[in-house]
Structure 1
Amino acid sequence: MQYTGVLQKMQSELGTPIQYYLVFENDFLNMNQVLNKELHINFIKFQCLNCGRDRTIYRQGFCKSCFYEIPTAGDWIMRPELSTAHLDKEDRDLAYEKKVQLQPHIVYLANSSNIKVGVTRKTQIPTRWIDQGAHEAIEIVEVPNRYLAGITEVALKDHIGDKTNWRKMLINDVKDENLAEWRQKLRAYIPEEVADYFIENNTETHLDFPVLQYPQKVSSLNLGKTPDFKGTLKGIKGQYLIFEDNTVFNVRGSEGYYVGLTIS
Structure 2
Amino acid sequence: MPFSLSELTIYPIKSIQGIHLQHSHVDLDGLRGDRRYMLVKPDGQFISGREYPTLTLIRATQTANGIWTLSHPKASDSLTLDESLFSCIYLSVTVWDDTVAGQKTHNQADAWFSELLDKPIQLVFFGEASRRQTHRRPNAPVTFADGYPFLLTTQASLDDLNKTSKMHIEMAQFRPNLVVQGNEAFAEDSWKRIRIGSVEFENVKPCVRCIFTTLNPATAESVGKGEPLKTLGKFRLLDNQEGITFGINMVAVTTGEIQLGDSVEILEYQEADHYIDRR
TM-score interval, normalised by the smaller of the two chains: under 0.3
Structure with the larger RCO, 1 or 2 (CA within 8 Å, 6+ apart): 1
User: With structure 2 as the length reference, what TM-score do the two structures score?
Assistant: 0.25
Q: Which has the higher helix share?
A: 1
User: With structure 1 as the length reference, what TM-score do the two structures score?
Assistant: 0.26
